[in-house]
Structure 1
Amino acid sequence: MKRREILKGLTALPLAGAVPAAASSTTTTPKAVARERDIFKELGVRTFINAAGTLTYMSGCLMRDEVVDIINSTSKHFCMIDEVQDKVGERIAQLVHSEAAMVTCGAFSAMTLGLAGILTGEDVRKVEQLPHLEGTGMKSEVICQKSHNERYNHAFLNTGCKIVEVETIEDVEKAINEKTALLHFLNITANHGQIKHEEWVALGKKHNIPTSIDIAADVPPVSNLWKFNDMGFDLVFISGGKAIRGPQSAGILMGRKNIIAAARLNAPPRGYTVARGHKVNKEEILGMYIALEKYIATDHDKEWKEWETRIAHIQNAVKDLPGITTKITIPELGNVTPTLSINWDDTVVKLTGREMRDRLRNGNPSIEAGFSGLPLYHYQAGSDSIDPAVAETLKGANTVRVTAWMLQPGEEKMVARRIREELLTASASKS
């Protein structure tokens, strides 16, 4: 039988399950309402109210609805990753006043890729050799102030480079040599070092060495998105899953066009690079762009007033209780948002800060709070894991720390009620 005859025969067959037209016109079946699958409940994963902040181990932030919509809609189409990075990078660069930009899988990834771009340039042979620097002619040292050399700088070590610590401008002048690839600055510890932003940039320009700055969690204020590009830093690294409320697994590398182009050669979709594992899919790239666009367009004054109202509600619920003192502060750098510290007299309230956090965590609803006065960058992965250097100091501290910027509307009332309940319970049981 010829192929044409076979196809003709198939078209004559009725579709499986088909019904006559007359019957279908008189028989209607109500469309079942799809039930949303609760995968958290199905797997036994605890969800909670986030009164602690944009912590990675707490899944960072909640993405904006517009970001989720873009992720869902773009997941239904194929496209070329490089083309998406090209187009999105151009738009982001315009928004942040940089020559070029790319979406990375977080600020840590931006640091590795930025340095890799400096080391290799657009020499594919060098790209293939990282992190093996010996005998390649590539540079191998990153200089930063001692107070700026914290754990996230491991991102630079991934390229094969080492960190050289300095404290003064004179130290920098002595440390610079033919191996120096980068002068790096950590914004959150800017007030802890002797050399300030503009001086750091000036040193880089004097010696023709690129300068970079890590501002991972340093919006708000929104102006920080372009402040350091305008100041003259050659590379700026930022997280996407914090105040910007993009994908938690995304970040942005922005800076000089030639360095970003070289960084792109070290990044996926290329498969022979030190950063092959730094994949960012099309949905995340586009979602990050939309998140940034929406964040810049936000009414930040209105948003700030909402945070103040929520944090004041929590403060008012507990400040008049016996033995309680409260204080609202605003960090100078990093996670700049109204932050409430609640402290208590342990002769009145028989409770430690850790016990309070555990009771909030294990209560209904489950709530996550933070340690009062502890910078967020001290936290490590894990439910209560912090820098060992400060853990002992906080072990018996009678204090908790609460922020409102990750709270959803109305959640401040639940947080206020639960903290008040636990303080009153601990006070009543002191005898």
Structure 2
Amino acid sequence: MNRREILKGLTVLPLTGAAPQAVLATAASAPAKHRDVFQELGIRTFINAAGTLTYMSGCIMREEVVEIIDRTAGHFAMIDEVQDKVGERIAQLVHSEAAMVTSGAFSAMTLGLAGVLTGLDVRKVEQLPHLEGTGMKSEVICQKTHNERYNHAFLNTGCRVVEVETIDDVEKAINEKTALLHFLNIVANQGQIKHEEWVALGKKHNIPTSIDIAADVPPVSNLWKFNEMGFDLVFISGGKAIRGPQSAGILMGKKDLIAAARLNSPPRGFTVARGHKVNKEEILGMYVALEKYLANDHDKEWKEWENRIAHIQNAVSGLKGITTKITIPELGNVTPVLTIKWDETLVKLTGRELRDRLRNGQPSIEAGFAGLPLYHYQAGSDSVDPAVAETLKGENLVRITAWMLQPGEEKIVARRVREELLTASV
């Protein structure tokens, strides 16, 4: 209730002798009732023991980020000016020549390539994704093992992806149409060509190189590692470990390429990326999230993750037929991961069934489904690419991460996992 509504109501109040000021004071001191839209609409919320997956809404933003979004929502500002100022600060933080906030890492990929193709030529910007007869290049080269579904971001510009396996393949594939040499960090150990070799190939042929590190923080050093290594464009998500808005990401790299990417981005309305809007609140929220993430005590945070994982492990490791193992991925989200596995003759349960029971319990919990790489996951309750889902139905294991758990939630996860395993035990 606002002041105007209160004053209007005073005209129909009975004469009780109370002064209007007293009524106003009473109304103002009444505690605000927060609206629970999740409950109102019947939307399930859950404890996240699976990680920063997009279909699970990524991460929970830091309190400081939410506060900045709230404080800036009530003011107007020019989007280009916000991008200018924020881009300068982000570039300093990540050791790059320039940077901009995008609507996610996928958007950063499309905008980065668009900038490579068009430069600062507005006529070319207006022509994307129609490349024929424009003089623009039209091919992106990447290793075969690096050509996964998120590379569709490049196809949006009208380019096609050319697969290679060896350095010799790259040399043969490069031609007058080659716009970009792209690298996917999360599968870096699956390709024959390593980071430094990829950058060297780009410099040798004067072709920009890019790297997708969308989910590859932590470690925090990845925020500047690849800029310092010499990649011309770096793409990262903002709504994962950095805990910025899920709808935001960062494009960082060479100054001329970021300027060209900006020309292809909103608020301009004649571009292939017009739908890639990020408003002032998200841009500023992304900046504050990055700032806070860099200032975080990462050693302390790591110890907290280890303690949470250990608590869950201890709750189930003594059960008959249960084996547990804690691992740390070499690439991707480098955080402790607990694998819980069981003897199917002693625990009559599949990994999928345990995951469903946790999801449908109170409170609802999401656990990892056999620890698949992120690019196997899809939206929806099935969660997994249909091509691999069938082979996982009988898997008698789940994987649990602790880095998206809120304080105290590890106790709930430990209790519920133990309960379900005991219930299913012979």
Provide the secondary structure at the position in 1 that maps to 2:379.
Answer: coil
In the TM superposition, 1:194-233 aligns within 5 A as 194-233=192-231
In the TM superposition, 1:290-309 aligns within 5 A as 290-309=288-307
Letter in 2 for 1:402: I
Contact 1:311 1:404 in 2 (8 A): yes
- C-alpha separation in 1, matches of 2:401 and 2:120: 44
Provide the secondary structure at the position in 2 that maps to 1:337.
Answer: coil
Contact 2:149 2:375 in 1 (8 A): no
- C-alpha separation in 1, matches of 2:141 and 2:353: 42
* Pairwise CA distance, 1:390: 2.6
- C-alpha separation in 2, matches of 1:261 and 1:170: 33
* Residue 84 (structure 1) aligned to one of 82, 90, 106: 82
Per-residue deviation, residues 317-337 of structure 1 (Å, max 9, x unmatched): 000100000000000000111
Contact 2:82 2:280 in 1 (8 A): yes
Counterpart of 1:29? 26
Counterpart of 2:313? 315
* 1:161 matches 2:155: no
* Residue 40 (structure 1) aligned to one of 38, 41, 44: 38
Letter in 2 for 1:207: H
5+ long unaligned stretches in structure 2: 1-6
Counterpart of 1:270? 268
Counterpart of 1:190? 188
Provide the secondary structure at the position in 2 that maps to 1:33.
Answer: coil
Distance 1:15 1:327, change over 3 A: closer
Per-residue deviation, residues 174-215 of structure 1 (Å, max 9, x unmatched): 000000000000000100000000000000000000000000
**Structure 1 segments (4+ residues) deviating >4 Å:** 14-22, 25-28
- C-alpha separation in 2, matches of 1:26 and 1:370: 56
Contact 1:342 1:372 in 2 (8 A): no
* Pairwise CA distance, 1:17: 4.7
Counterpart of 1:68? 66
- C-alpha separation in 2, matches of 1:281 and 1:65: 19
Provide the secondary structure at the position in 1 that maps to 2:240.
Answer: coil
Provide the secondary structure at the position in 1 that maps to 2:292.
Answer: helix
In the TM superposition, 1:249-268 aligns within 5 A as 249-268=247-266
Contact 2:10 2:20 in 1 (8 A): no
- C-alpha separation in 1, matches of 2:199 and 2:44: 45
* Pairwise CA distance, 1:29: 3.0
* Pairwise CA distance, 1:24: 3.5
Per-residue deviation, residues 388-417 of structure 1 (Å, max 9, x unmatched): 343222110000110000000000000000
* Pairwise CA distance, 1:383: 2.1
Letter in 2 for 1:314: I
Provide the secondary structure at the position in 2 that maps to 1:185.
Answer: strand
- C-alpha separation in 2, matches of 1:330 and 1:393: 24
Counterpart of 1:8? none
Per-residue deviation, residues 263-290 of structure 1 (Å, max 9, x unmatched): 0010000001000000000000000000
CA RMSD across the alignment: 1.7
* Pairwise CA distance, 1:16: 8.9
- C-alpha separation in 2, matches of 1:411 and 1:241: 21
Length-normalised TM-score, structure 1: 0.94
* 1:365 matches 2:389: no
Contact 2:148 2:375 in 1 (8 A): no
Letter in 2 for 1:413: K
Provide the secondary structure at the position in 1 that maps to 2:422.
Answer: helix
Contact 2:146 2:183 in 1 (8 A): yes
Provide the secondary structure at the position in 2 that maps to 1:103.
Answer: strand
- C-alpha separation in 2, matches of 1:35 and 1:371: 38
Length-normalised TM-score, structure 2: 0.95
* Pairwise CA distance, 1:242: 0.3
Contact 1:57 1:383 in 2 (8 A): no
* Pairwise CA distance, 1:382: 1.5
* Pairwise CA distance, 1:380: 1.3
Letter in 2 for 1:332: E
Letter in 1 for 2:413: V
Provide the secondary structure at the position in 2 that maps to 1:401.
Answer: strand
Query: After the TM superposition, which of the residue ranges 32-41 and 146-155 deviates more from structure 2?
Result: 32-41
Counterpart of 2:385? 387
Counterpart of 1:342? 340
- C-alpha separation in 1, matches of 2:371 and 2:134: 46
Contact 1:63 1:246 in 2 (8 A): yes
Distance 1:80 1:26, change over 3 A: closer
Per-residue deviation, residues 48-87 of structure 1 (Å, max 9, x unmatched): 0000000000000000000000000000000000000000
Counterpart of 1:112? 110
**Identical columns (%):** 84
- C-alpha separation in 1, matches of 2:109 and 2:368: 27
Letter in 1 for 2:364: S
- C-alpha separation in 2, matches of 1:15 and 1:223: 58
Contact 2:311 2:411 in 1 (8 A): yes
* 1:352 matches 2:350: yes
Aligned length: 415
